Amino acid sequence: GQNIDQPTEMTATEGAIVQINCTYQTSGFNGLFWYQQHAGEAPTFLSYNVLDGLEEKGRFSSFLSRSKGYSYLLLKELQMKDSASYLCAVMDSNYQLIWGAGTKLIIKP
Amino acid sequence: IAGITQAPTSQILAAGRRMTLRCTQDMRHNAMYWYRQDLGLGLRLIHYSNTAGTTGKGEVPDGYSVSRANTDDFPLTLASAVPSQTSVYFCASSDSDSNTGELFFGEGSRLTVL
């Protein structure tokens, strides 16, 4: 079966760096996505990786290793507003998105 | 403001009743989707539409139906609601010509079936 694994919850301190991991087992691969979802709100797109390596976008970076079925989202200079759930999703060979359950990130002052 | 609009935002419904969740987008995206989100689970695809006039079943289609009469609208109907359909429902759209396939989500419809 297809599976996306990510930690349920993480805690970090304001101003620090946090890395949220995602491992996947899917039938085929056509890209990996990270979305941010604040409580009670809609998910919003953060990043897309289809090739191995690091994609940097401001304070957020996303890394992909297709051979290891692994990705991480790196958040630097954490701010209180980064408290949210972070959803990892993989597009399989049928171009369907398979979603992880999300990682709830709690930022403490 | 361009985007996706869902209605209602929240609804409490008696079991057995029929309910339609509305979804409208003004971005002229070809593809539209309905997901449900439940605590501890990833988003699960209910139905999708790659273009106006066509629809397909997702991972959890039973008890739900959709239609896509035009590009902008993609309503989701629960013919006879059951308590297990209590969830938050998200409508989303994407531009099939996009390099990333990024999804744009509506604000969600919280449905409680009693």
pLDDT digits (tens, 9 = 90+) for B19-75: 999 999 999 999 999 999 999 898 999 999 999 999 999 999 999 999 999 999 999
Mean pLDDT of A22-32: 95
CA end-to-end span of chain B: 35
A with B: how many residue pairs have Cβ under 8 Å apart? 47
State residue A96's pLDDT score.
Answer: 87
Inform me whether the C-beta atom of residue A31 falls under 8 Å from chain B C-beta atoms.
Answer: yes
Percent pLDDT > 90 in chain A is: 94
DSSP state, B97? T
Q: Is A97 on the interface with B (CB under 8 A)?
A: yes
Please give the pLDDT value at position A20: 98
Confidence at residue B1, expressed as pLDDT on a 0 to 100 scale:
60
B22 class by beta-carbon count within 10 Å (0-12 exposed, 13-18 middle, 19+ buried): middle
> Which pLDDT belongs to residue B37?
97
Q: Do A33 and B102 touch (CB under 8 A)?
A: yes
Q: Please judge whether B42 and A102 are an interchain contact, meaning their C-beta atoms are less than 8 angstroms apart.
A: yes
